[in-house]
């Protein structure tokens, strides 16, 4: 598990850098002004939780615990749902497409982030 979390974290962090650069340069001319901060929020949480995956992988090496595995999964799903939905909403707005009710996915992704951190906390507290 730890290698998978480390590889996933590293790949997701590389993708976050690419998306951040894309947002800072190319999207300034494309996105409506109110949507650039939405995209940037997606990138910021993408970064945070890419690092969280690395942390989970490192912790799992030190003390394997099923809650660390669950936390890593939550971080991954959170990036996909939270950041992914923000990317989709902001990019599609450039073409006048509104995702409307799909926006409910964003807070679900946020819940995955919260649960992931709580599972990591539980694993650390349980460590003997």
- What pLDDT is attached to residue 32? 85
Model pTM?
Answer: 0.93
- What pLDDT is attached to residue 21? 95
| Structure-token pair, residue 91 | 């990019």
Q: Give 85-122 pLDDT, tens digit per residue.
A: 999 999 998 888 877 777 899 999 999 999 999 999 99
In this prediction, residues 47-76 reach a mean pLDDT of 96
CA distance 53 to 44: 15
CA distance 63 to 49: 20
Q: Which of the two residues, 64 and 2, has the higher pLDDT score?
A: 64
| Structure-token pair, residue 61 | 């090496």
- What pLDDT is attached to residue 102? 76
Confidence grade of residue 50 (pLDDT, cut at 50, 70, 90): very high
Q: Give 9-38 pLDDT, tens digit per residue.
A: 999 999 999 999 999 888 888 888 889 999
- What pLDDT is attached to residue 52? 98
- What pLDDT is attached to residue 94? 84
- What pLDDT is attached to residue 2? 82
């Amino acid at each position: 598990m730890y290698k998978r979390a480390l590889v996933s974290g590293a790949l997701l962090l590389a993708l976050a850098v690419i998306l951040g650069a894309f947002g800072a340069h190319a999207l300034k001319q494309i996105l409506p002004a109110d949507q650039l901060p939405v995209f940037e929020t997606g990138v910021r949480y993408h970064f945070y939780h890419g690092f969280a995956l690395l942390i989970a992988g490192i912790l799992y090496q030190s003390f394997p615990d099923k809650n660390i595995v669950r936390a890593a999964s939550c971080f991954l799903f959170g990036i996909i749902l939270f950041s992914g939905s923000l990317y989709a909403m902001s990019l599609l707005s450039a073409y006048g497409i509104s995702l409307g009710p799909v926006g409910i996915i964003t807070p679900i992704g946020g819940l995955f982030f919260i649960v992931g951190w709580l599972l990591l906390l539980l694993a650390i507290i349980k460590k003997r």
